[in-house]
Chain A
């Protein structure tokens, strides 16, 4: 990898001051960034190591039922938190589904949300794809088994994060710190943090401006009621793998019926893909396969598979059926 300078700031402000300089990149658990450095896909001059920043790694459960997760919390900490598992199984299941135990012990929430695409064209140093400033998405007419069926164009990556669909399904907000005006913090819906390639800068996957940092994600308290949730991820290889498709389902149950639901898909689009159409189908329906099948049809109605990924359509429909069964069997 290219030789770099390493900075170890103790506060967010120090970090932000460093990140303002050209060629400086934030380093969290390094599980993604180090790979990019080793393969010369990212070539920063300096790394700003966030691991020493105080207070960035807290999980806060508030009395009002809301939850805040510091950007520096590791996936392993998230996965092991018993109260989280009880109240937000979708989040625990998403965290547990990621990579391997070794990687989860290092990888952070902030890094997971900001990680770069895994598309093999992007990750191959020798190839110049749209995501690296090239002129076309090589996956579009190429080997696209793992690429997007929804929301694609001009780039067809899928967003690699498993936490993202789960958090979007929980209506989470993301807190961003920037330097100007000094100490500014903004909170936006996580759903609007991620950008479709057709809408945002195709070189990036979110609205984070250079020099900005993610400091936390905030999950609002659920309205009163009986909430159930699950994250169902399908991996080609169970032992550890990326999602071929995933469903984050969060629902409020009223008696035997679904009062309201969030359906967010992972592994099928350049962003965590919320399907309001599927949510509308589910609202007011009993938890059964026919509701799930209709929701699946609605969610995938706009799918435009590429030459090698049509399987993602029936796969995702199947996962929606399974996800609904999973919450049906849960109290």
Chain B
């Protein structure tokens, strides 16, 4: 996730066991996508039904938990209350870095309703807003008062908040690490290199059209509606429940048990609904550690959900990037050379970036990626980590070179994309956005037009494959009720809905006849939802469990019907004995089950899933050249995903990707005061998200030409290209190239002014 997957092993040399084969799979570990080799069945007997025969899958299914969400009945971690519960809050260090000389909690503890005040025992903070103390009180207000009553003595430390200052001569060092022999200390740490720098630069400079530019992107926040946190319900007994807002049910309860000093089996994680994660919510976190610690000590339930300011300052973000790209193009549009020097801005962490060239093929290329530390919180995985940054760099560069060469922007892309799936997707996006009727396809429009309209394109790639991580149980009762359960979590993607739909599809039932149960560590194991790996890990196990349930049903019913299991069939018309021609409806059939009903456990099957998705998007914008205002008129996304399990949920994911990208393109940006060391955008007034009036016509198109009969995750791909397409569309509209996102009106207007004075 945080880069192109890290391949840990080579393909094993030993032959696989009989009936098995070696298969490379992707798993998300701590938000990072990692590749492994495993043995899988060489051939699957039965797989997904043909799409044409599907009754529920490949259709638009309203989410089964929609009504509970829109009526407010759905309970999130924030909503959880328990008798005797206290509210905990963190004190954040107001400086980007400081020595914490002392924290006096005495005054805080004297306040009414305050039950705890603790130093986190941080000696030196290394980022703005780092939590340094925690308090707990019987009301949120009392907790706020307690924070203000903490007396902290700070000692000065040097710090840097911006890329420029981090790299200045004599800049304070974020980490005081000893530099290597002969090197001076630097906040820049080289990470990865690929290709031959000199050869690539030579190829660039020998090309008939070449340019070198810096493309930069700000730090973006996940901006989850529900902040990070949890309610630990422990009252001093032998058991506890942790209600967590997390992307991984099973990433929480183990560490929580340890922190609570309870046996692992005595702590249950509960994640029925969660209000967004986008890659930022794995594991217990500092909030979970302290909620457990306080709960253990107080023997009272603890509610510790971060405040919005906490969320903006220490709950992770998408790393910023400063990319110096030099590219060269032949007269026919072929990319001959690319040299990329990239700094990731991941605060005290590393940040993410795939290598360049991203998706496109280039003759000679070189890419070096470094991280540049600043005194801000560590970046975390965020929906397609690193890809949107790389996309913005390469897609902008390609446009600049294409204009220089006077070439059609769509044709240039196809020329440099080997995989023809992209050609198909780009052409469809182009048709849908009106490219072929667009008046200027190889030169930008005029800045003199008052309302300048432009179109831009960009592409994406993602893995989206699964791994053997999910255990799915199906139970069928004598009364005909069916449940399918797995401890997995639903990040808003519709997990419950497809779990029920798969079972219902195969057993010939309506979707409402199957109840999907998730979000508890008491159920079968599941992977954390990261890297779009959920569906390809879970859906195969659900299908396998369903096939097994059907087989077991036939086995149990055959004797009662005096027939053989092989002659039984099930479908929308109920159970059929092909031998006798006798039919039973579902209830009649289940009534013949033994008292305990039946249960099966399904496992992941490699053959039911695949990996590798593409994606192409186009954006049409209108620039008001009097004000610099950019209005996105329309966005089109063409997205492949193997079998579309639920078309409505897929379209919703694609729309969400486009919306998040639009917001990133136009507004989103962490704003820090570089001289005083303060956060200026740690709320939704300073950190602007696109709202309803920014919404363009959104056209999410599922690429049905992708006929792979497997399930693949695609949600990450949908966020990768949108902002790049918008930036390119702005240039196409009026000739203004903004190389540092966001494309706020002030930048666009000043660039237009420059064009006006030049002409």
Contacts and interface: CB of A to CB of B under 8 A. Distances in A.
Interface string A206-240: 00000000000000000000000000001011111
Range for the number of chain A residues in contact with chain B:
20 to 34
A120 B686 contact: yes
A143 B671 contact: yes
Interface string A287-331: 000000000000000000000011100110011011000000000
Given A234-B629, A238-B694, A239-B693, A315 B749 contact: yes
B693 A315 contact: no
Contacts of A311: 628, 745-747, 749-750, 753
A142 interface: yes
Given A143-B671, A236-B744, A315 B627 contact: yes
Nearest to B667: A237
Interface in B717-759: 744-747, 749-750, 752-753
A187 to B, nearest CB: 35
Interface of B is mostly: mixed
Contact of A126 (B94, B144, B686): B94
B492 to A, nearest CB: 21
Interface in B678-734: 678-680, 685-686, 688, 690-694
B692 A120 contact: no
B632 to A, nearest CB: 11
Contacts of B693: 238-239
A60 interface: no
Contact of A138 (B141, B676, B747, B752): B676
A254 to B, nearest CB: 27
B678 A124 contact: yes
Contact of A124 (B680, B744, B747): B680
Interface in B20-77: none
Interface string A244-263: 10000000000000000000
Contact of B676 (A127, A241, A318, A319): A127
Contact of A238 (B626, B685, B691, B744): B691
A309 to B, nearest CB: 8
A174 B627 CA distance: 33
Interface residues of B, number: 33
Most buried by A among B94, B666, B688, B749: B749
A128 to B, nearest CB: 10
B673 interface: yes
Interface in B650-676: 666-667, 671, 673, 675-676
A145 interface: yes
Contact of B628 (A142, A237, A315): A315
Interface string A92-126: 00000000000000000000000000101100101
Given A126-B678, A237-B688, A315-B628, A143 B750 contact: no
B688 A318 contact: no
A294 to B, nearest CB: 16
Interface in B86-125: 94
A142 B673 contact: yes
Contact of B675 (A142, A240, A310): A142
Given A234-B627, A234-B629, A244-B745, A239 B690 contact: yes
A145 B676 CA distance: 16
B225 to A, nearest CB: 16
A237 B626 CA distance: 16
A300 B628 CA distance: 18
Contacts of B628: 311, 315
A303 B679 CA distance: 29
Contacts of B746: 145, 236, 244, 309, 311, 315
Most buried by A among B141, B144, B680, B752: B680
B730 to A, nearest CB: 15
A318 B694 CA distance: 21
B740 to A, nearest CB: 14
Contacts of B629: 234
A120 B688 CA distance: 14
Nearest to B141: A1
A86 B671 CA distance: 42
A311 B629 CA distance: 12
Contacts of A310: 750
Given A145-B746, A311-B750, A314-B753, A237 B690 contact: yes
Contacts of A236: 667, 688, 744-746
Given A236-B745, A239-B690, A311-B750, A322 B626 contact: yes
A322 B624 CA distance: 11
B688 A321 contact: no
A120 B752 CA distance: 27
Nearest to A234: B627
Given A234-B629, A239-B693, A315 B676 contact: no
A142 B676 contact: yes
Contacts of B141: 1
A143 B694 contact: no
Contacts of A315: 627-628, 745-746, 749
A142 B161 CA distance: 14
A127 B678 contact: yes
Nearest to A237: B688
B626 A318 contact: yes
Interface string A17-46: 000000000000000000000001000000
Contacts of A241: 688
Most buried by B among A124, A127, A310, A311: A311
A234 B744 CA distance: 12
Contacts of A239: 690-694
A40 B145 CA distance: 11
Contacts of B752: 314
Nearest to A239: B691
B673 A143 contact: yes
Nearest to A317: B626
Given A238-B694, A315-B628, A143 B680 contact: yes
Interface string B625-655: 0111100000000000000000000000000
Contacts of B747: 311
B91 to A, nearest CB: 13
Contacts of A319: 626-627
Most buried by B among A1, A120, A127: A120
Nearest to A311: B746
A121 B753 CA distance: 29
A120 B680 contact: yes
Contacts of A240: 691
Interface string B192-229: 00000000000000000000000000000000000000
Interface string A36-58: 00001000000000000000000
A185 to B, nearest CB: 36
A322 B450 CA distance: 11
A127 B94 CA distance: 10
A138 B94 CA distance: 17
Nearest to B751: A311
Contacts of A118: 685
A309 B94 CA distance: 28
Most buried by A among B141, B626, B679, B690: B626
A119 B199 CA distance: 51
Interface of B: 94, 141, 144, 148, 626-629, 666-667, 671, 673, 675-676, 678-680, 685-686, 688, 690-694, 744-747, 749-750, 752-753
Given A234-B627, A311-B750, A322-B626, 10 more contacts: A124-B678, A126-B94, A138-B676, A239-B692, A239-B693, A240-B691, A241-B688, A244-B745, A314-B749, A315-B746
24 contacts: A124-B680, A126-B94, A127-B676, A127-B678, A141-B675, A142-B675, A234-B627, A234-B745, A236-B745, A237-B694, A238-B691, A239-B690, A239-B691, A239-B692, A239-B694, A244-B745, A310-B750, A311-B745, A311-B749, A314-B753, A315-B749, A318-B626, A318-B627, A321-B626
Top 6 closest A-B pairs, CB basis?
A239-B691, A318-B626, A311-B746, A238-B693, A239-B693, A120-B680
